[in-house]
Amino acid sequence: MSQALQGFPIVISEERPRKWRYSYSAGPIRSKFLMTLRDQRKILGTKCPSCGRVYVPARSTCLECFENMHEWVEVKDEGFVETFTVVYKSSPNYSSETPIAFAVVRLEGADTGIVHKIGEVDFDSINVGMRVKAVFGDRLKGDITDIKYFKPV
């Protein structure tokens, strides 16, 4: 114990369950990305005016040259698996049944990958380089889960 705290009693309060109440603002860039997913079923990225990198999901600043990005480009809803994992044990962090596959998918026209679920697939057949296509959900709400999953092409 620190000398500054010596002589002070330790107070133990009754344990209470935590309630996580918060709101999150996606900001103008991410909001446009999400609203375009919802309203048009299109995937947009932002393009750096200096190096030309296209970021998906869209972001406001280039990670390479720190330029502000204002140019929007539409990318394909198809791409390839850069890396993946299959989860066999359930967790409170996601509500899906296990096993479930997650991958980093690089969409055609983008220079970065998007992390998402892989569906309609035999888990043993998933491989790096596998071609996949976005499958949109039925009820779109302006969230990354509007893309239900990516499936093999």
Pair 52, 65: CB distance under 8 Å:
no
pLDDT tens figures, 116-132: 999 999 999 999 999 99
pLDDT tens figures, 83-102: 999 998 887 766 678 889 99
pTM > 0.85: yes or no = no
Is residue 19 a part of any domain in this protein? no
Pair 122, 129: CB distance under 8 Å:
no
Is residue 16 a part of any domain in this protein? no
131 CA to centre of own chain: 19
Is residue 1 a part of any domain in this protein? no
pLDDT tens figures, 137-148: 999 999 999 999
Residue 65: other Cβ atoms inside 10 A: 12
Is residue 18 a part of any domain in this protein? no
Is residue 20 a part of any domain in this protein? no
Instruction: Report the range of poorest mean pLDDT among 15-24, 45-54, 60-69, 104-113.
Output: 15-24
Q: How many domains does the chain have?
A: 1
Could you list the residue range(s) of the whole structural domain that residue 53 is in? 26-152
Is residue 124 a part of any domain in this protein? yes
Is residue 10 a part of any domain in this protein? no
